[in-house]
Amino acid sequence: MIGVLDYGMGNLFSVSAALDRLHIPHLVSPNHDELARTDGLILPGVGSFHDAMAILRDQDHDRFIDEYVRHKPLLGICLGMQLLLETSEENGTTDGLALLPGHVVRFAGFDEQTGHRYKVPHMGWNHIQWHQQDSPLYAETEETYVYFVHSYKAVMAESATCLASADYHGDVPAVIGQGRIFGTQFHPEKSGTLGMTILNNFCSLCL
């Protein structure tokens, strides 16, 4: 059973629908007792890092997640991935869950090499390149494109924790992970064959 944490800031329907398509048993809940009985946890997220962390702390989800990952796998999706890191500069510096070493910064919107401005958010389909093919999330498919929507990106403190990256006016960590903790900056549930394979690989790791 896969648990999806409902804390009011995730695209729960699309994640649940993707798990249904994969025939993965799951529950969507804010209840710690229910989620503690699952085999793996998904932390979705859409919106502000600052607001999300305020909710996680207020509802004691941060403590629950910290305890959960000592024994079982966790996958953060989009904002959920960013929450795994130490800090974000969105709406002022905010401490994250600090489960992986790294920080979240805004896309500059200006390319220093070319002198040109570029669009923020990074939105749409983009190619990813794997750096850690021994990762349990690694998906060996002909597809290489996934769907991104984000204005802030991760800056990983340790290169080994960046499992795959995209290029959007510089490297953008697309899949991160260490131990039993993983994250995808893109939405795997909206990313076709590759995204669904990555999501299925995470669930297979748990079940």
Q: What domains can be seen in the chain, in order of their start residue?
A: 2-206 (3.40.50.880)
Sequence-separated (6 or more) residues with CB below 8 Å from residue 73: 40, 41, 180, 181, 182, 202, 205, 206
DSSP-derived secondary structure for 75-128: EEETHHHHTTSSEE-TTS-EE---SSSEEEEE--SB-TTT--B--SSEEEEEEE
**CB 189 within 8 Å of CB 201:** no
Res 11: pLDDT: 86
Q: Return phi, psi of residue 42, to 5°.
A: -110, 130
**Given the residues 122, 150, 169, 187, the one annotated as active site:** 187
Instruction: Identify whether the C-beta of residue 91 lies closer than 8 Å to the C-beta of residue 76.
Output: no
30-85 per-position pLDDT tens digit: 999 999 999 999 999 999 999 999 999 999 999 999 999 999 999 999 999 999 99
Q: Is 90 a catalytic residue?
A: no
Structure tokens at 15: 């994640």
Among all chains, which residue has been given the structure tokens 């991935």? 81
26 catalytically annotated: no
Catalytic residue among 26, 189, 203, 206: 189
How long is the chain?
207
Closest CA to 195 of 206, 205, 204, 184: 184
Q: Which of 78, 162, 203, 206 is labelled catalytic?
A: 78
Active site residue 189: yes
Report yes or no on whether pTM surpasses 0.85: yes
183 within 8 A of 175, measured Cβ to Cβ: yes
Per-residue confidence (pLDDT) for residue 185, from 0 to 100: 98
* 45, 52 contact by CB (below 8 A): yes
Report which of 143, 187, 148, 182 is spatially closest to residue 162, judged by C-alpha positions.
182
CA dist 42 → 79, 93, 144 (Å): 12, 25, 23
Render each residue's pLDDT in the chain as its tens digit; 207 residues: 999 999 999 889 999 999 999 999 999 999 999 999 999 999 999 999 999 999 999 999 999 999 999 999 999 999 999 999 999 999 999 999 999 999 999 999 999 888 899 999 999 999 999 999 999 999 888 889 999 999 999 999 999 999 999 999 999 999 999 999 999 999 999 999 999 999 999 999 998
